[in-house]
């Protein structure tokens, strides 16, 4: 976040389950408190467990809080695009 000019103090850590997947309810609560620029970073393959964040659920709720969704797969870095 520092490289984007936002600083590390603006980062909100989201709770995960035992496999390291983002908890969507926790993300939704955190997004309710956001004002301004919004960046949500989801992972495809947690480094220790291989678990994927629930992308479709994340894609569904981010726009409800004023954000958009960009996927590296859309840029050709993965096997399949995630619907936006």
Residue spans of the domains in the chain: they are 2-75
* Element counts in the chain: helices (H) and strands (E): 2, 0
Q: What is the pLDDT of residue 73?
A: 55
Residue 32, Cβ density class (10 Å: 0-12 exposed, 13-18 middle, ≥19 buried): exposed
pTM above 0.85, yes or no: no
Report residue 84 as tokens: 């936006």
What is the largest distance, in Å, between two alpha-carbon atoms of the chain? Answer: 34
Report residue 3 as tokens: 């490289």
Q: For the chain, what's the residue count? A: 84
Phi, then psi, of 60 in degrees rounded to 5: -70, -35
Please report, in tens digits, the pLDDT of each residue of the chain (84 residues total): 677 777 777 788 899 999 999 999 999 999 998 877 788 888 888 888 888 899 889 988 988 888 876 665 554 444 444 444
Q: What is the pLDDT of residue 63?
A: 86
């Amino acid at each position: 976040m520092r490289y984007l000019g936002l600083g590390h103090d603006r980062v909100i850590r989201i709770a995960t389950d035992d496999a390291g997947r983002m908890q969507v309810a926790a993300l939704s609560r955190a997004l309710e408190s956001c004002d301004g620029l919004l960046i949500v970073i989801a992972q495809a393959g947690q480094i220790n467990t291989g678990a994927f964040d629930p992308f479709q659920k994340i894609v569904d709720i981010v726009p409800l809080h004023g954000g958009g969704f960009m996927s590296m797969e859309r840029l050709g870095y993965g096997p399949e695009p995630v619907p936006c």
